[in-house]
């Protein structure tokens, strides 16, 4: 990780000539935001320059310069990451893709869309909907860039039915560290044509190549969707219902869980009381929120009846139908507020997004909350019951930075060990970046990390792309 050069005035001039003066920022023109992502606990590192190219050709030209002079380049989209993945640890250039924000066109015969990587998820989703199409991946952070989503294989709410971002990438144009442009994948849905370099790039967090264009698969937008709240006595009872809901073939789009404490915090903070705290005189301990989407209301109605029957059998206090637009809006506003509420109520925050087998969710949550309590760290959690992806936050208002890092570090290490015991994944959708490197090594072992590092060297022998992340 040594041997990088500093950006000279001459090199900055060369970069500015490629992207235009106004798109090459240096010195005090660089906003502090470029020094970190949305999890500032992993530290702040100012780049020497930020450049905002407009297209593949400009990215290629920048990389030719940086390759020649061994300048580190950290790719950044909207900067909504949570693991320090786009933090320029070694200075150099932050290559921000947010000017590459064009939706390049739809192919309605083949149900696909071509986009630049700086298009925000929310903008793509809305634009596709206007054409009657759904872009299924739906991570909680809607303002993230599609390039970032692909680089972390973002998952989100609808993964239960539709899978993750990986499943929607058909082809990509990438720029290699040398500046060479390469097309990976093809705009078709089947491939058995050599090693899938494209699937290797997906989830590689900008360490192997820079994505400059993407072709994504879309699906017809289901004409109807309805959400249902099932309140339960406890998280154990709530999660117990999930396998049955999946097994009976209702095809739910999403199954989210929320414990009472986070619902209370959100309600207190936002005034949104859509989740009932008492049903028929019984205190609610946890909820699952199920969404069904189908071709028409009748189909949903038929499936909703089955859902209510299962809920009843398994101890749900009720099956509340959210059929009105205002109710739907309120429930998803509440769901979307959880992270904001956690962040606004806490001075220091760190997070995990482990994935465990669905039937291990209650045991894992109990363990995490117990370990948190032992270490004096406040724990908050919510997540995707349908796929076992848990968002667990370590929070504090009464600790110094160093003490928090120490204590939350103990909590994390214990939780990741438990995750390994349960045969889970370190991260479901946020990635490894800088913040979870040590946990990845522990989970995967030396050999797997050496293979990853070997692959990194094949793509990037000088180590100039996003150094210090994942396995390098």
> Residue 135 contacts by C-beta under 8 Å, 6 or more apart in sequence?
113, 121, 124, 125, 128, 168, 216, 218
- Least separation, in Å, of the C-beta of 425 and a copy of itself? 5
Residues 211 to 240 in contact with a copy of itself, rule: CB under 8 A: 220-223
Per rule CB under 8 A, is residue 339 in the interface with a copy of itself? no
Interface region with a copy of itself, contact rule CB under 8 A, candidates 21-29, 72-80, 332-340, 424-432: 424-432
Site residues (CB under 8 A) for a copy of itself, limited to 109-128: 109-111
The beta-strand segments (E) located in 246-388 are: 254-259, 278-279, 282-283, 286-294, 320-322, 348-352, 378-384
- Binding string, residues 159-178; x marks residues near a copy of itself by CB under 8 A: x---xx-xx--------x--
Candidates 14-22, 28-36, 48-56, 355-363; binding stretch for a copy of itself (CB under 8 A): 355-363
Tokens of 223: 């004409």
| Total residues interacting with a copy of itself, rule: CB under 8 A | 91
Could you give the count of Cα atoms lying within 13 Å of 235 in the half-sphere of its Cβ? 24
Please tell me whether residue 327 adopts helix, strand or coil conformation.
helix
Half-sphere exposure of 326 (CA within 13 A, CB side): 2
Helix axes 235-247, 297-313, angle to 10 degrees: 130
Query: Is residue 390 classed as helix, strand or coil in its secondary structure?
Result: strand
Please tell me whether residue 191 binds a copy of itself under the rule CB under 8 A: yes
- The residue among 88 and 424 lying less far from a copy of itself, judged by its C-beta, is 424
Q: How far is the CB of 317 from a copy of itself (least distance, A)?
A: 23
355 binds a copy of itself (CB under 8 A): yes
Chain residues 251-290 in contact with a copy of itself, contact rule CB under 8 A: 251
Residue 438 lies near a copy of itself (rule: CB under 8 A): no
Name the residue nearer to a copy of itself (CB basis): 224 or 336.
224
The CA distance from 61 to 67, in Å, is 10
For residues 47 and 147, which CB has a smaller minimum distance to a copy of itself in the complex?
A: 147
Query: For a copy of itself, which residue of 302, 329, 340, 344 counts as binding (CB under 8 A)?
Result: 302
Q: Which is nearer to a copy of itself, 240 or 261 (CB)?
A: 240
Exposure of 417 by Cβ count < 10 A (0-12 exposed, 13-18 middle, 19+ buried)? middle
Rounded Cα gap, residues 329 and 354, in angstroms? 28
Does 104 help bind a copy of itself (rule: CB under 8 A)? Answer: no
Is 180 one of the binding residues for a copy of itself (CB under 8 A)? yes
């Amino acid at each position: 990780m040594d041997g990088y050069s500093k950006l000279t005035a001459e090199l900055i001039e060369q970069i500015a000539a490629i992207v235009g003066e106004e798109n090459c920022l240096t010195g005090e023109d660089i906003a502090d935001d470029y020094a970190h992502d949305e999890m500032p606990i992993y530290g702040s590192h100012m780049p020497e320059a930020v450049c905002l190219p407009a297209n593949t050709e400009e990215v290629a030209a920048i990389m030719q310069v940086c390759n020649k002079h061994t300048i580190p380049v950290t790719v950044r989209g909207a900067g909504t990451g949570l693991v320090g993945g786009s933090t320029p640890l070694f200075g150099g250039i932050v290559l921000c893709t947010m000017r590459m924000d064009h939706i390049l066109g739809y192919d309605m015969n083949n149900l696909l869309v071509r986009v630049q990587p700086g298009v925000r998820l929310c903008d793509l989703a809305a634009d596709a909907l206007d054409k009657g199409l759904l872009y299924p991946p739906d991570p909680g952070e809607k303002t993230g860039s599609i390039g970032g989503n692909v680089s972390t294989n973002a998952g989100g709410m609808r993964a239960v039915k539709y899978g993750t971002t990986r499943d929607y990438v058909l082809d990509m144009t990438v720029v290699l560290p040398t500046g060479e442009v390469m097309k990976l994948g093809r705009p078709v849905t089947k491939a058995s044509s050599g090693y899938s370099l494209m699937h290797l790039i997906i989830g590689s967090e900008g360490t192997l190549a820079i994505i400059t264009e993407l072709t994504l698969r879309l699906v017809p937008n289901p004409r109807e969707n309805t959400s249902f709240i099932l309140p339960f006595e406890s998280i154990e009872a709530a999660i117990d219902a999930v396998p049955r809901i999946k097994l009976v073939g209702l095809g739910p789009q999403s199954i989210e869980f929320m414990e009472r404490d986070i619902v209370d915090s959100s309600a207190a903070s936002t005034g949104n009381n859509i989740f009932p705290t008492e049903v028929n005189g019984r205190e609610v301990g946890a909820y699952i929120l199920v969404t069904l989407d189908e071709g028409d209301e009748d189909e949903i109605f038929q499936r909703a009846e089955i859902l209510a029957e299962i809920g009843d059998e398994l101890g749900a206090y009720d099956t509340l139908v959210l059929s009105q637009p205002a109710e739907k809006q309120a429930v998803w506003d509440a769901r979307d507020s959880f992270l904001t509420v956690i962040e606004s109520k806490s001075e220091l925050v760190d997070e995990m997004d482990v994935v465990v087998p669905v039937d291990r969710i209650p045991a894992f949550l109990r363990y995490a909350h117990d370990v948190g309590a032992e270490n004096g760290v406040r724990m908050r959690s919510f997540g995707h019951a349908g796929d076992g992806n848990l968002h667990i936050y370590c929070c504090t208002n009464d600790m110094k930075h160093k003490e928090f890092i120490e204590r939350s570090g103990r909590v994390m290490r214990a939780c990741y060990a438990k995750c390994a015991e349960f045969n889970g994944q370190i991260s479901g959708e946020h990635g490894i970046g800088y913040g979870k490197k040590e946990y990845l090594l522990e989970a995967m072992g030396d050999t797997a990390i050496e293979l990853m590092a070997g692959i990194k060297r094949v793509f990037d022998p000088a180590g100039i792309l996003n150094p210090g992340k994942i396995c390098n």
